[in-house]
Amino acid sequence: MNRICSGMLTNGAVLAPGVRVGQSYPLGATPDAAGVNFSVFSKNATAIDLLFFDAVDDPQPARVISLDPRANRTFHFWHVYVDGIAPGQLYAYRAHGPFDPARGLRFDPDKVLLDPYGKGVAIPAGYSREAATVSGNNAPYAMKSVVADPDRYDWEGDVPLKRPFVQTVIYEMHVKGFTAHPSSGVAPEVRGTYAGLIEKIPYLQHLGITAVELLPVFQFDATEAPPGLTNYWGYNPVSFFTPHLAYSSRQDPLGPQDEFRDMVKALHRAGIEVILDVVYNHTAESHDQGPTICFRGLENDDYYILEPDKARYADYSGTGNTLNTNHSTVRRLIMDSLRYWVEVMHVDGFRFDLASILSRDEDGRPLTNPPILWDIESDPVLAGTKLIAEAWDAAGLYQVGSFVGDQWKEWNGRFRDDVRSFFRGDEGAVKKLPDRFFASPDLYGHEEREPEQSINFVTCHDGFTLNDLVSYSHKHNEANGEDNRDGHNDNRSWNCGVEGPSDEPDVERLRCRQVKNFFVINLLALGVPMILMGDEMRRTQRGNNNAYCQDNEINWLDWRLLERYGDIHRFVRKMIRLRLSLDVFQQERGQSLNQFLQSSRIDWHGIKLYQPDWSDHSHSLAFTVQGRDLLFHIIFNAYREPLEFELPPLPSEPPAAWRRIIDTYRESPDDIGDMSRAPVVDGQTYCVQAHSVVLLARG
C-alpha cells in the first residue's frame, strides 16, 4: 500500500509526484485528459483519506492519499487532483473525526465510504451491511465508487421528449420484474436488465402507453430485507447519481451508465418517455444502529434530521432515517442529482417518493414554502421536466391537493380509494365519483390548475395488483416473514365470492368485468392515468400487498398471462387509444379526451334522466357529455343486479342513434369497439348488467 501525505499550501501546487491540491468544484470525481479531480464535503472531519483499490474486494487499498487540511481543504470541501487516474478506477474515502452521537457526529475512520457524488459503484461478492455496522475495517466488504466520464457517450441526437401531460399515459414498472421471468422471451443473459427492457419496447408501443415510470434505479442496498429475502423495490438508496449495477447485463462497473442510456435512447425513439421514481427522503444507512456506508460517515448532522438528543434519527420515512432535505448541503445534492439525470442521462421526469418529507425543515416541522421544492420548481434545467409528487409521508403528513408549487403533479390517492370503494359497492361511495372522474375539483379546484395535476391510479407497486384487488378480500403477506402484519389493511378490495384463484366460470367472468370497469374509469377520467405493469394481463402477486422483498415469481411478470387474458389486454389497448384520441368516434379529431371533457356540458342522471341518486345506498350513476360535435353517455352500475337506465333523447334532425362503444358485461370483442363497428342501441332505455360500465356515443 502506497500512502502519500500532502503538505503544501499553494493552490495548484504539486504536493507529491502526481498529486496536486485540486479544486473544490465540481464535487465528486471529475476526469480530464491528465487525471482526476476529487472533491468531497465534510464540515467536521479532522482528516480525509482518499483510497484507491485495484480490485473491489481487496482487503486494503493499493494507494492512500491523506488530504492535508491546510492545503486540500477550502471551507468545508476537501479536494485533490491526481495525475494518471482514468475512468474505471475504484476509489473511496475514510473520514477522521469525533464519534460523538450526542452531538450528531458519527465519524469512524475504519469505514470505507462511498463518494456522495460518485457516478459509478462497484460491489464486492462479499458485500456486508454487518461489516459496515460493527467496529473494525470493512474494506473488503464495502461498496466502492468508480471514476466515470459522463461525456463518453454518443446520444445520436437524442433529447427528452417533453410530451404534454394531457397526452400522457403512464406505465409504472420494475426494470427487473418486467423481463426476469423466463416467459419474457428475452435472451437469458439480459433478463431483468436495462437491455432486456429494450427488447420489450415493441410490446409497450403496441400497448399504447406514452411513458414508463421506473421503480428506483439509483444504486440501492438490496440486502436490507428479512432473512433470505431481497430489497426488491429499491427504496433504499446508497447513491443518487449511479444506475443500479444489478440491472445491467454488462460486467464492468461503468456498464450500467451506458446501458441505462441505451435504454433511454431506445425508448425515446419509440416515442416513450422515461420517468424515474426517486427516493430523496432517506438512505440505506437506516437508524442509529445502522451501517456507515456514505453520508453518516462524512457529515451525519447535515445529511439527516436528528431527534433533539442528536443520538437518534427522526423517522418520517418509516425506514429508520430521514434526509435533511432543506439543509443547504442536501438541497445542493438533490439539485445536482436531478440535473445530472436530466442533462447527462436524458430522463423526462421524476416521481418523488414520500415527497412531503421535502417540505419538512431541519427539525422535521412542515414548512409553508420549502426551499428545496421551490429550487426544483424554478430551476431552468428542470423546466419542462415532469415532476410528480407522492404528496404524503410515513409520519402522517398528507398534502394531496395542497402540495407546494405550480409545476408539480400529484399522485391522487383519493382517486384510488374512492374508485375502489364505488366498485366494491360501499355505502356512500357514489357521491364521491363525480369529483374523482373530473380531476378532483374538491382537492384541486381552489388552485385553478389544469386537470392534469391529478395523477389518477387504481393500483401501483405498493398494494394489490388489479387482479388481486378483485381476487382477495384480505392481504396474504406470509411470504414476507412478518406473520402477515406488514402491508396496508385498508385495501378496499373484493374477492368476487372466492378468496384467491378460482376455476368457477361465474367468478372469473365477474373478476374480468371488474378489471375492465377499473380500466374504463381510470382511462376515461379527467387527469393523467397511470396503470401498473402487468395489470393489462391480470398479473398476480398471490395476494401479497407489500411485495417489496420478493425478488421472485411473486413480482416478476409472467408473460404467459398475455395469452390467457388476451381479452383484457385487447380491452386496455383500445381504452388507451380512446384516451389519447377521439378518432375512434370519427369526430373531434385531434382533440384529446381531457380537452373534450373540459369544454363540454355535463348532465347527471340516475336510472331516470336528470334524477341522480346521491343517497348512501345508491350504487349507480350516469352522465351525458355534450361537446360541439360529439355526444356520449356513460353509465356505472356497481349494484349486484341489472338496472334499466333511461337514455337521453337524440335530435331527429339530422337523424341519429345511440351506438354502444363499451359494455364491460359483454365478452370480447363485443366489450369495446369504435364507431365504425359500434352496434345501434334500440329503444329509449339500456339494461346495464350488474357490476358493469357502459359507454354510448351518438352515431
- Whether residue 470 contacts residue 513, with contact meaning beta carbons closer than 8 Å, is answered with no
For residue 52, what is the DSSP state? E
Q: How far apart are CA 422 and CA 653, in angstroms?
A: 38
Residue type, 597: L
Cell output for 113: 465510504
Q: Which residue is catalytic, options 302, 390, 452, 468?
A: 390
Cell output for 250: 454488462
Q: Indicate the SS3 state at residue 631.
A: strand
- Whether residue 464 contacts residue 491, with contact meaning beta carbons closer than 8 Å, is answered with yes
Q: How far apart are CA 306 and CA 314, in angstroms?
A: 5
Q: How far apart are CA 95 and CA 299, in angstroms?
A: 9
Rounding to the nearest 10 degrees, give the CA dihedral for residues 574, 576, 582, 585: 10
Give me the residue label for grid cell 390467457: 564
Residue type, 218: F
Q: Are strands 658-663 and 692-698 parallel, antiparallel or unpaired?
A: antiparallel
Q: How far apart are CA 411 and CA 170, in angstroms?
A: 12
> What is the separation of C-alpha 663 from the centre of its chain, rounded to a whole number of angstroms?
32
Q: Indicate the SS3 state at residue 101.
A: helix
Q: Residues 117, 121, 122, CA angle at the centre, nearest 5°?
A: 155
Q: Which residue is catalytic, options 273, 285, 348, 353?
A: 353
> φ, ψ for residue 15 (rounded to 5)?
-95, -30
Cell output for 294: 456514505
Q: Are strands 170-173 and 144-146 parallel, antiparallel or unpaired?
A: unpaired
Q: Name which of 535, 534, 519, 538 is nearest 423 in CA terms.
A: 519
Q: How far apart are CA 422 and CA 442, in angstroms?
A: 17
Sheet arrangement for strand 121-122: 2-5, 63-67, 47-53, 90-96, 144-146, 121-122
Q: Which residues of 310-340 are buried (b: 16+ CB within 10 A; e: fewer)?
A: beebbbbbebbbbbbbbbebbbebbbbbbeb
Q: Is 353 noted as a catalytic residue in this protein? A: yes
Q: How far apart are CA 519 and CA 525, in angstroms?
A: 10
Q: Is 315 noted as a catalytic residue in this protein? A: no
For residue 257, what is the DSSP state? H
Written in H, E and C, the secondary structure of 370-411 is: CHHHHHHHHCHHHCCCEEEECCECCCCCECCCCCCCCCCEEE
Rounding to the nearest 10 degrees, give the CA dihedral for residues 206, 207, 210, 216: -120
Which residues are annotated as catalytic? Answer: 353, 390
